[in-house]
Every structure is written in structure tokens, then in C-alpha cells.
Amino acid sequence: MIQLSVKLFLQAEDTFSFRSLLLYGTIYLLHNIITQQSYLSDAPTENYGSDPSGWYCFFDNGIWITEIYMTEQIGILLYVLPISKNIIILSDSTFFLHIGIQKTGSTTIQQILQQNIKELEKEKIKYLGRLPVLARKIRVMEEHDPAIIHTLRQQIKEEMGDESFSGNYILSNEKFAGDKMVGYKNTPVIAETVFKALEPLDVNVKIIVFLRRQDDFLESTYAQRIYSGSTLTFEEFFKNFDTSHFHWDELVDSYADYFGPSNVIVHRYDQNFLPHKDSLINLFGDSVGSSFLKNYSETKIHNSGFIRDTLEIERIANNYLDKQEKKYLRDLLRKVGSKDLYEKYSFFNISQRKEFLNNYMESNARVACKYLQDKSGTLFSPLKPGEYDISPYEGLTADKAVLHLTRAILESRSEQVAKNSDKRQNHSYLKRFIRKLLR
């Protein structure tokens, strides 16, 4: 159920066939309300406006008073005055769309969902997957595209399958948050796309989003650029950063504008709020109503980042390796140089970090107040005294590089022996790879 107590005004683009309104029993608002039953009565008890066509729309629980001007079977809904009562949604099914954002454990959530499809089905929850190919196109959308809307709707319907299913659905892909490389400035277009794709479906939509403190998010984003082949230092990367990016209130509001603030579930990706390795999936389980996930205790962290030394090895090596070799090196280094969950990178010095976070104080406070009902306006853990007072990174020395690479090679070699693989061929590739690094 949802509670509405606001006056909404529909623009010209919301003009629709009056016959369709009756047929589908739907009034298309920013909140995407789908009625359980709907019919119109031409016996109003009050006069609303100069036009005599006043109407009442009756729902299963509550009354909406609307004013509609009629012209050749076309109805233009000018405004809606919801009475403050609960409105019952047509379907018992809830469609949970998890949009990340990036760098907030999305891969871990998706892996657990995929591995436990049967357990979730016992709770009448159907995991629809990630729609990876289409999601990549959606991530970089810059303008309205009817073809993508249609394709998204059709793929979702295909994944939903049996129309008799009466449970809930989960679709998860962090690319639905938008393109982080442009600071998520295209999120409004994506939110509109998702809304129009889901609008005709018989579901109540909930958006789930995890947010990360901007300094940690930017440092993690930089590391991801290195994994993708960049050779920039952090100073070079940060020099061109646009401080209008990563204001989370804009991202969350983009979805709230279409689905309603009460249908956007915001969580903090923050160690103080997710204290142990299972906290992330337990919280996600609570959001989707899964007892299985709420009590899950076998989380394995996916896509963990590198420690500074191994990240620096990869950054330097990116100058000399082809795409396949970069991936091979990344896989090698991950065996011996991955950082712990929530371990800090500390690319910023402490003064840079404070100045950077000052850009987001007001927008973060708006998210905390509006979506988490936190009157203190505290969205993330504040900087703690001494938290980042660590010695500056001294850089990568030859000794450190040799140590990490040797450990990685020995670890890889040990795994090959254990798997009874073709050791001669793999060893030959390792030697060629090392020679290329040392040229």
C-alpha cells in the first residue's frame, strides 16, 4: 500500500485515450498507480472548475477526485486530488529493481541471487538476472529511445515468464543507475526509460539503491580505470574531475520523480552500517522480503580491489601489455594483492579529502532526510580523527614489484599443479610474460 496526499499536475505529454483509461483501469501519474478496480460516475456532488464534466474515480479502498475535459473521446487529466487514504495496488507482485550503484557490492549480490534461485523460488521470489547486453546500452543513454523501451519491456516479460506467478521479482544491474563517467548526469533519461518499460506491467515497482561516500567512491572508480587499462596517476585523474558529479540526491530523485519517493529504497554502503561480510546481502534480503537472504551467512566477496602496490604494478604495466596480457596480469595479482572489504586506498591526502567531501555535505543531507528520515542529515560515517592520518604512499620499488610478481607466479604455478593442467605450456607463457614486463 502507499499513501498519497499531494496535488499532481499532468503535462500535455500525459494525454491519453479516455477509452484506454477505462480499459486498463490506470491513471498514469508520477507514482505509477495501478488500480484494483476502476469505474467512473457522472454524478458528482461538488463542482470542480467551470466545465460540468466532474468525475469520481472509485478504487477498492479510497476515492480520487479528478477533473477531466472531454473532446472527441480524448481525456486530458488536468489534475488529481488524492484523498489521504491508502490505495491498494492491483497486483500483489512487487518488482524490485536493484540499480547498484557501481562499487557497492552489486556483483556479490548478483552472484548470491543467481546461486540461490531455487531457495528464492520457495519464497515466491523470481530472480530475473541482469539483462547484461541491454543494460550496457541503457547505461550510456543520452536521450529518449522508444526502441530501447520496447526491448526492455519485452525482455523483462520474457524473464518473468508464467503470467500466473503471484510472487515478487528482482532485476539487478548497476548500469541502470547510469554512466558514472559522466557523473550519472544521464540517470533521468534512464529512469524515464525504466518507468515507461514497466508502466504497462501488472506490478508495483520498488527501486533499491546503495550509495557510497563520494571520496571512497571516487578512489574506487580510479582503481577501476586502472583495471580497465588506464595509465593515469591519481593526480592526473583527479585534476579533471567535475565536482558537479556524484551528487546522490540528483540520482535518487531521478527515480523518485517517476516512481515516487516512497518506492525508492536507499541504503548506505558504509562499514558502520554494514559491519560484517554478510551485512550487505542480509540488508538486501530485508528489502525484498526474503528470510533466506536476511539470514544468509556464506558471503564470498567478488571483485575485491587491489592493494596500492599491486595496483601500481598494473598501472605501469598497462603501458606495455595488450588486452589479453593485461587480463592475465590482473588475474595473477588478484591472487596475492587484493585488499580487504572496506580497506581504504587513501589516494587523497587528508586536506584534499576534507575539501572534496565539503562539496557534498548539503546534497548528502537531503538524501538522509528525504529517503532515510534521518533528521540529523547524516548520510555516511563522518571522517574520524586519525582515520586517514597514515604515511604517504612511498611508491613502488623494484624490490616490492619483484616480491609481488614472484608470489603471484608461485601461487599460479601451485594452482596449475593442483589442477593437473599442462604445466609446460603454461610455464612457457609465464616466462614470456615476465620477459615482456622486464624489458
Give per-residue pLDDT as tens, 226-238: 999 999 999 999 9
Which has more pLDDT, 411 or 138? 138
Q: What is the tens place of the pLDDT at every residue in 393-409?
A: 888 888 888 888 888 88
Answer whether residue 106 shows pLDDT above 90: yes
pLDDT at 406: 85
CATH class of 94-302: alpha beta
Nearest-angstrom CA–CA distance, 388 and 405: 28
Q: What is the tens place of the pLDDT at every residue in 363-403?
A: 999 999 999 999 999 999 998 876 766 667 888 888 888 88
Q: What is the tens place of the pLDDT at every residue in 57-96?
A: 333 333 333 333 333 333 333 334 343 333 333 457 999 9
Give a three-class secondary structure readout of the chain. CEECCCCEECCHHHCEEHHHHHHHCEECCCCCEEECCCEEECCCCCCCCCCCCEEEEECCCCEEEEEEEEECCEEEEEEEEECCCEECECCCCEEEEECCCCCCCHHHHHHHHHHCHHHHHHCCEEECCCCHHHHHHHHCCCCCCHHHHHHHHHHHHHHHCCCCCCCEEEEECHHHHCCHHHCCCCHHHHHHHHHHHHCCCCCEEEEEEEECCHHHHHHHHHHHHHHCCCCCCHHHHHHCCCCCCCCHHHHHHHHHHHHCHHHEEEEECCCCCCCCCCHHHHHHHHHHCCHHHHCCCCCCCCCCCECHHHHHHHHHHCCCCCHHHHHHHHHHHHHHCECCCCCCCCCCCHHHHHHHHHCCHHHHHHHHHHHCCCCCCCCCCCCCCCCCCCCCCCCCCHHHHHHHHHHHHHHHHHHHHHCCCCHHHHHHHHHHHHHHHHC
Average pLDDT score over the chain: 78
pLDDT at 413: 73
The CATH 3.40.50.300 portion of the chain extends over 94-302
141-170: average pLDDT: 94
pLDDT at 11: 33
pLDDT at 134: 98
Q: What is the tens place of the pLDDT at every residue in 311-328?
A: 999 999 999 999 999 988
Q: What is the tens place of the pLDDT at every residue in 14-59?
A: 333 332 333 223 333 333 333 333 333 333 333 333 332 333 333 3
Q: What is the tens place of the pLDDT at every residue in 120-146?
A: 999 999 999 999 999 999 999 999 999
User: Please, is 337 exposed, middle or buried when counting C-beta atoms within 10 Å of its C-beta (0-12, 13-18, 19+)?
Assistant: buried
Rounded to 5°, the CA angle 435-438-439 comes to 90
pLDDT at 173: 98
281-308: average pLDDT: 91
pLDDT at 81: 39
